[in-house]
Structure 1
Amino acid sequence: MPGTVVGASLSLDPGSPMATWPAKPHVKLGVTGAEPVLSETEREMQRSVRTFAEKVMRPVGIALDRMTPEQGIAKDSPYWDFRKEYLKLGLNPHSLGALSNEERGRLLPIIMEEFGWGDAGLSITIGACQLPSMMALLSGNSFLIERFPPESIGCWAITEPDHGSDSLDVSGQAFHAQGVYGRPNCIATIKGDEVVINGQKAAWVSNGPIAEVCVLYCAADSGNGPDPKRGCTILVPMEAPGVSRGKVLDKIGQRPLPQGEIFFDNVTLPLSYVVAGPDDFQRAVHAIHCEANCQMGAVFTGVARAAFELAHAYAHERKQGGVPIVRHQNVAYRLFHMYRKIEASRALVQRVSLFNACAPVPALHAAMTCKITGTQTAFEVASDAIQIFGGNGLAREYPIEKIFRDARASLIEDGCNELLALKGGFNLIHPDAW
């Protein structure tokens, strides 16, 4: 017949790539979705941390969530069993610092995502423990590096009773035109070869009730009055005379993370404990937030993944209308968008973490995208997961309600997402623009 092609076939050439596919292709994704090939080190570390997250973090996190804050830090608390097991992993700024910049930039978000998958609050306590040691290394101060080994329990004190996310805006970019910072609640006065600290930090100091060392960010007074734009970053031993603590905070989410006020009453230290003085303060703020924002993004990508996995499994088990609810269009649609958001969050966090690890100066606005995207994803995915669970999602019998509470707290901690977005937007402006 006219138009017939001699030798035409309706079958694929046996040597073509598609010919090896199943007749009805269906790809089972990896544990973390469409993950590219990992190096042997990355794969082994991911497996080791995931086992720790599953066997230690999850059960301890659930137990601590149901305790009072005081019970959570008592000597017989399971928190200390968790910490003992965590130290066995050997993951800290010193061991990670021995890696190349590229290796560290690739490995750290993988590790932190697995921690987040295990438990959000315990992930933050891990991160807070590391910050003093990390800042000592970044400063190059050999005295502080030796004085506070990575096994020390660290805390990070920056927010104050009258100053929350504005503590991150030392340049005043996001302030209202008529706004003023007001008097700081904590001031470091530099006197000769000593620094004297007075005041307090707010109840949201992560690890405050249990810390051995505090990385303190506060206003400095060099003789002309306190100036929050020219502050001080100091590693404060918590046993120093004049340091005291408030009660452990009782809160809605991330209850395994102990938080509480710290008070300073004429705490006097040699200048050798200062990481960054007034001239270097903005560098120190930049450094710690680049690190914290990337880690927050990774942790809460893991939290989102945990919520998704619970909802995905439940949707296959729960039946309505005679079929598993995953067969209902809206449930399948919802699950797809949950999965999509997690993939996008993970890709962003891993990309920025690698960039910042290898760049001469890390990009804070890039790190802010990680924190905002990761935490917003966790909150949205956890909320959608509760909708899939229906009424069961509101019951403490199911872990999704705890994950939702943990995720909600993340939109505020380490700088509320609204202020971070404003700061990130201003950082996108070319310095010479007017």
Structure 2
Amino acid sequence: MFAFDRIPNPTLGMAGLEAQLSEEERAIQEVAHRFAEEVMRPIGRKLDHMTPDEVVAAGSPLWDYVRQMKEIGLLDLQAVGAMSSEQKARMLPLIFEELGWGDPGLAIFSLATAFPAFAAYMSGDPELIDRFGNGIGCWVGTQPDRGSDLGDIQATQVHPGTKQGRGNLFAKVVGDEVVITGQCSAWVSGAPVATSGFVFCQCDYGDGLWNDQGGLNYIAALVPFDKGVTKGKPLDKIGQRPLPQGEIYFNDVVIPKKYVIAGQDTAHGAFFGALTFANMEMALTFTGVARAAFEHALAYAHERKQGGTQLINHQSVRARLFDMWRKVESARAIAHRVVNYNYGPNGPHVLGSITSKTYVTQAAFEVANEALQMFGGNGLTKEYPLEKIFRDARAALIEDGENNLLSLVGGSWLSTWYKQQHGL
């Protein structure tokens, strides 16, 4: 039982129903929030109105963002790497929610362009760290003719009697070298400005591309973009326009085997790990997007008059606001729960990350949609922030794995767990 001498107003933190944060956690949250508000939102709005070519051009506000993000050190790889699992589980949710609240495209840009550096540092190889540990990179995985097959790395969704498509980008091991040929899709984040890539593609190790399950053999390698690499035009899209994306062409690019991070026996695990982290981060980021949409709607409801009074005085409006609120809180709860799972003794696992990514991005889209509806015609105009948030949230339902395909993969993992538990 709880007892009160008087009925108090609720005490809410920056991120809603917050439990006690430590002094250090509160300080990091406030730094991230201030950066999101003062740097990310203004730059994100500018970039959203620019053409894709203008976004990546010299002198673009994008480079001011890159400089300031580096200066503030919120995503410093060495600092994050030095954290314990418990610290990561506490700190990363605070940081990524605020960055998503600021601008999800820019938040994802900072993470996606660090993938080669992450892989280099995790290898522990000084040569790789020196070669790939700095600069702007990208994570090359998706291909034009393969769509969501990449998300089904274990080929659990392959139709009986068939096999996954060959795709457009493949590697071949030749002696002590690897030759990479073909193109990735136009959805590779950071590609137009990247100087290297963490490339994940199908590979012929000498016995063909396909394995016995109808899936493909893969390789994960660090690839510099200085020789044999060309790029297409930056992608023009409706959402997350501050995030430059584009295709890359590999013209018989030769790299030494030393640059291979994961080979035939370990490449599936490498992608599994990358997707597990990426989906987890998407959930944290788009919790911030959902919160931003809700906060704009809450403020507007107290400002806008309709029917002779502020919107907030109408019962239906209060009910709709509360529905948005509980979706934001539920999104944050599952996002934090999965982070704790992934950095706990039973994790990490892609099942948890898929659970949070699909739920949170759907919730963010629904909250953004309802918030835009509350703004009425104003919500459709670029003068107000909701139309951009709506577009950004819509893109997340496909980004880092289309939600329906991810749900199929998640369902397969639940079945695998059940069969193991019951000896089936």
- For residues 337 and 256 of structure 2, the distance between their equivalents in structure 1, rounded to whole angstroms, comes to 40
Corresponding residue for residue 86 of structure 1: 69
> What does the per-residue CA deviation read over 1:168-201, in whole Å, with 9 as the maximum and x for residues that have no partner?
2121112233543122211111111111100100
Whether the 8 Å contact between 2:341 and 2:347 is mirrored in structure 1 is no
1:159 to 123, 139, 142: 142
Which residue in 2 is equivalent to 1:115?
A: 99
* 1:191 paired residue among 168, 174, 178: 174
Alignment of 1:30-429 (within 5 A): 30-90=13-73, 91-149=75-133, 151-227=134-210, 229-239=216-226, 241-359=227-345, 361-428=347-414, 429=416
How large is the Cα RMSD of the aligned pairs? Answer: 1.5
* TM superposition shift of 1:354: 1.9
Q: CA deviation at 1:361?
A: 4.6
1:179 and 1:308 map into 2 onto residues whose CA distance is 46
The 3-state SS of whatever aligns with 1:279 is: coil
1:92·1:130 contact (CA, 8 Å) conserved in 2?
Answer: no
- Whole-Å Cα distance in 2 between the matches of residues 163 and 42 of structure 1? 42
Cα distance change on mapping 1:289 and 1:121 into 2, 3 Å? same
Q: Is the 2:341–2:352 Cα contact (8 Å) retained in structure 1?
A: no
Identical aligned residues as a percent: 49
3-state DSSP of counterpart to 1:362: coil
For structure 2, the residue ranges without an aligned partner over 5 or more in a row are none
- Higher-Rg member (1/2): 1
Q: 1: distance between equivalents of 2:223 and 2:24?
A: 35
- Give deviations 1:243-297, integer Å, cap 9, x for gaps: 1111000000100000000010110011111110111011101110110001000
Question: Is the contact made by 1:124 and 1:257 (CA closer than 8 Å) also made in structure 2?
Answer: yes
Cα drift, residue 26 of structure 1: 2.2
Q: Give unmatched runs, 5+ long, in structure 1.
A: 1-15
Please state whether the residue corresponding to 1:18 is helix, strand or coil: coil
Q: Which amino acid aligns with 2:166?
A: R
Q: Deviations over 1:350-369 (max 9, x none)?
A: 12112212336511100111
Q: CA deviation at 1:217?
A: 0.7
Counterpart CA distance in 1 for 2:117 and 2:322 is: 41
Deviations 1:64-120, CA, capped at 9 Å, x for gaps: 000000000110100000110000122233211111110011111110110000001
SS in 1 for 2:186: coil
Measure the CA separation in 1 of the matches of 2:206 and 2:287: 45
Aligned residues: 414
* Distance in 2 separating the partners of 1:361 and 1:114: 25
Contact 1:143 1:272 in 2 (8 A): no
- Counterparts in 2 of 1:422 and 1:140: CA distance versus 1, 3 Å: farther
In the superposition, the TM-score normalised over structure 1's length comes to: 0.92
